């Protein structure tokens, strides 16, 4: 028995790790509460035991996500899509722990994005993931991270696909909007994951806490919802669980925010990713 919310329900940023975590069980829980669609982001490479030396080393990380999405598609009433990329925190591991020069780390991470873009080009993934550290780093590492992010925008422009970003906590990313524009990618197709209720410059993927969602709903602006569920048994309390987005949709609908639910689960996903969440629900 599932709770039918009478609307598509998309979690824009979730991880699935069938090897270490709950995998499809988490998807079944999402579905039971009324969830219909997922964007599944690959885990950081080091969480899967991969310490890359060359771009091809990212390939198994991406393939694991593609496999998890195929399994999720067997239980979702709508569907799931992979979002593939290189976690910006990797630069710190490469530079501080493995002795890479920032420019060499930059080139390896850009190469990883090139590999991710092949999957988008083959219609095996929907979008790319990039960004910059949310913690203080040296100028060299910051510049290298911005260069990696710009490369993701250039690939997004070439492939006509959206780019999800991990960034510092902020409600103003007009600097990155200008970079996207310059790279030929519409900034509205760049999504800041883990966003607060409002964001200047890019499209916010709002962490599904009530206070943030209320601000997003009231803004009248495009937004999407997410949990950043990590599917890691060692970090159960770190982020919101897989039930959260459907639960918060029910809460929004109960508070008269029908228009905001449509904005977050139909209109913004269509505008950003080119997906039709209504058509894919049977």
Residues 221-250 contacting Zn ion, CB under 5 A: 228
Helix (H) or strand (E) holding 143: helix 139-159
Q: How far is the CB of 164 from Zn ion (least distance, A)?
A: 9
Residues 72-131 contacting Zn ion, CB under 5 A: none
Helix/strand/coil for 72? helix
Q: How far is the CB of 258 from Zn ion (least distance, A)?
A: 28
Q: How far is the CB of 228 from Zn ion (least distance, A)?
A: 4
From 74, 31, 9, select the one nearest 277 (Cα to Cα). 9
Distance CA 31, CA 53 (A): 38
Q: How far is the CB of 40 from Zn ion (least distance, A)?
A: 10
Structure tokens at 242: 């897989």
Distance CA 118, CA 137 (A): 30
27: Cβ–Cβ under 8 A, 6 or more apart, which residues? 16, 38, 71, 72, 75, 76, 80, 242
Between 5 and 225, name the residue whose CB sits nearer to Zn ion: 225
C-beta nearest to Zn ion: residue: 228
Query: 189 and 163 in contact (C-beta within 8 Å)?
Result: yes
Pattern 179-198, Zn ion, x by CB under 5 A: --------------------
Between 39 and 260, name the residue whose CB sits nearer to Zn ion: 39
Pattern 137-176, Zn ion, x by CB under 5 A: ----------------------------------------
Between 64 and 228, name the residue whose CB sits nearer to Zn ion: 228
Between 17 and 228, name the residue whose CB sits nearer to Zn ion: 228
Q: How far is the CB of 262 from Zn ion (least distance, A)?
A: 25
Between 131 and 197, name the residue whose CB sits nearer to Zn ion: 131
- Please work out the total of residues on this chain that contact Zn ion, with binding judged by CB under 5 A: 1
Cα dist. 273→103, 130, 162, 191, 250 in Å? 31, 16, 6, 10, 24
CA quadruple 231, 116, 48, 239: dihedral sign: negative
Q: How far is the CB of 232 from Zn ion (least distance, A)?
A: 11
Q: How far is the CB of 194 from Zn ion (least distance, A)?
A: 7
Distance CA 267, CA 210 (A): 21
Between 11 and 228, name the residue whose CB sits nearer to Zn ion: 228
Residues lying near Zn ion in the complex (CB under 5 A): 228
């Amino acid at each position: 028995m599932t709770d039918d919310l009478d609307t598509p329900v998309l979690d824009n940023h979730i991880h699935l790790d069938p090897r270490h975590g709950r995998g499809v069980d988490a998807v079944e829980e999402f579905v039971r509460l009324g969830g219909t669609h997922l964007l599944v982001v690959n885990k950081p490479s080091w969480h899967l035991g991969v310490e890359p030396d060359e771009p091809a080393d990212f390939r198994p990380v991406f393939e694991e996500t593609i496999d998890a999405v195929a399994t999720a598609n067997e239980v979702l009433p709508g569907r799931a899509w992979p979002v593939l990329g290189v976690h910006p925190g990797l630069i710190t591991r490469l530079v501080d722990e493995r002795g890479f020069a920032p420019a060499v780390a930059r080139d390896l991470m850009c190469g990883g994005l090139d590999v991710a873009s092949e999957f988008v080009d083959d219609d095996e993934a929907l979008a790319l993931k990039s960004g910059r550290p949310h913690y203080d780093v040296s100028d060299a590492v910051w510049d290298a991270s911005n260069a990696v992010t710009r490369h993701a925008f250039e690939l997004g422009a070439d492939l006509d696909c959206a780019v999800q970003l991990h960034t510092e906590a902020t409600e103003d990313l007009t600097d990155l909007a200008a970079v996207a524009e310059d790279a030929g990618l519409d900034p509205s197709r760049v999504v800041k994951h883990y966003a607060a209720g409002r964001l200047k410059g890019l499209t916010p993927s709002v962490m599904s806490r009530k206070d943030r969602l209320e601000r997003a709903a009231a803004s009248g602006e495009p937004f999407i919802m997410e949990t950043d569920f990590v599917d890691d048994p060692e970090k159960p309390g770190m982020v919101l669980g897989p039930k959260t987005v459907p639960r918060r949709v029910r809460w929004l609908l109960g508070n008269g925010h029908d228009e905001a639910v449509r904005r977050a689960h139909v209109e913004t996903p269509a505008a950003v990713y080119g997906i039709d969440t209504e058509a894919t629900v049977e």
